[in-house]
């Protein structure tokens, strides 16, 4: 048996797993507080997984996410790109705690396509989970992991070459929660509200249909359309999502193509709703997509790393 899980800044999810032919098969799952909300991480881990340890005895623990950051249990240094699952397994931060051998996935760092330092922590397990199923060849791929800080990742075979981060998701939240655009809404912004697909497509269409439209020039359209009666307050956040996601996708594709990458297909890995929204934009841009759920790929990524843990430790 082995305990594997993602312990992010806001949530902890641990799986008690059987190990079968190099794959982790979840048997039970527990949830708990995120790394930023815990004062003593060892105590929190023991509270969540203690029953498993009492029943099955000490076992290996493999964790990913912000638990390995400066706000986590212990800080795991970033692994520089290019990197694959073997290098990741060899760079695990290992220590003993709660009577178990603990290993924390280190995250990745690189110089991105713009020459700037970039980092990811947590998304790399989803990434390696998807890559575990592809041929270890010389094919170059562009993979997008949508989220608050979306990652655009360039890979060759099962190796991560580099990546660039988009803060589009956080900027959207800030605009709606604290900016003038949010004050244009009749009711306080509700991030859990369902997406109005018609409004989303209208916003995306502004960017797709006019490649010269810069995002900073398009943003005010939310407020002006409400004032002119062309957009309802309820649909405005969905309009803004379409506008900003379309700009993100358009600009990421253009940046990679400008550096010689043929972007005919984009792999989308993450939460179903976000993957579908990014997919709608790609369809309008004439770009094919492959889609994968983030939860499934995260456990597959941990499986890929776990399969190499013992060899790396030897």
CATH superfamily, region 166-293: 2-keto-3-deoxy-galactonokinase, C-terminal domain (3.30.420.310)
Beta bridge partners of 11: 33
Average pLDDT, integer, range 55-73: 95
Tens of pLDDT, residue by residue over 93-131, are: 999 999 999 999 999 999 999 999 999 999 999 999 999
CB count, 10 Å around CB of 237? 26
Contact at 8 Å (CB) between 263 and 25? no
Residues 6+ apart with CB under 8 A from 40: none
Supply the pLDDT for residue 20: 87
Q: Exposed e or buried b for every residue in 250-286, given b needs 16+ CB within 10 A?
A: bbbbebbeeeeeebeebbbbbeeebbebbbbbbebbe
What phi-psi label fits residue 211: left (phi over 0), alpha (psi between -120 and 50 degrees) or beta?
Answer: alpha
CB count, 10 Å around CB of 240? 24
Tens of pLDDT, residue by residue over 79-96, are: 999 999 899 999 999 999
Supply the pLDDT for residue 310: 66
Rg for the chain (alpha carbons), in Å? Answer: 21
- Assess if CATH 3.40.50.300 describes domain 2-136+297-313: no
Of 235 and 308, which is predicted with more confidence?
235
> So where are the chain's domains?
2-136+297-313, 166-293
């Amino acid at each position: 048996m082995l305990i594997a899980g993602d312990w992010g800044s806001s949530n902890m999810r641990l799986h008690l797993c059987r190990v079968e032919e190099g794959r982790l098969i979840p048997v039970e799952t527990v949830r708990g507080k995120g790394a930023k909300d815990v004062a003593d991480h060892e105590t929190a881990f023991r509270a969540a997984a203690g029953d498993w340890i009492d029943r099955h005895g000490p076992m290996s623990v493999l964790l990913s996410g912000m638990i390995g950051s400066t706000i986590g249990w212990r800080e795991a240094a970033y692994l520089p790109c290019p990197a694959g699952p073997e290098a990741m397994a060899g760079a695990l931060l290992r220590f003993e705690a709660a009577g178990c051998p603990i290993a924390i996935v280190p995250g990745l760092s690189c110089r991105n396509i713009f020459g700037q330092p970039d980092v990811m922590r947590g998304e790399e397990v989803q990434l390696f989970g998807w890559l575990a199923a592809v041929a270890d060849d010389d094919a170059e791929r562009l993979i997008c992991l949508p989220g608050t800080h979306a990652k655009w990742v360039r890979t060759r075979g099962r190796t991560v070459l580099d990546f660039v981060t988009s803060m589009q998701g956080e900027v959207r939240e800030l605009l709606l929660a604290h900016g003038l655009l949010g004050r244009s809404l009749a009711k306080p912004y509700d991030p859990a509200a369902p997406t109005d697909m018609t409004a989303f497509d209208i916003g995306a269409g502004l960017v797709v249909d006019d490649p010269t439209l810069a995002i900073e020039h398009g943003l005010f359209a939310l407020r002006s359309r409400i004032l002119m009666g062309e957009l309802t307050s309820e649909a405005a956040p969905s309009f803004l999502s379409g506008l900003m996601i379309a700009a993100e996708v358009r600009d990421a594709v253009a940046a990679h193509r400008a550096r010689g990458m043929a972007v005919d297909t984009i792999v989308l890995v993450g939460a179903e709703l976000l993957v579908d929204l990014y997919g709608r934009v790609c369809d309008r841009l004439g770009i094919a997509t492959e889609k994968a759920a983030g939860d499934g790929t995260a456990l597959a990524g941990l499986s890929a790393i776990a399969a190499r843990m013992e060899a790396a430790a030897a």
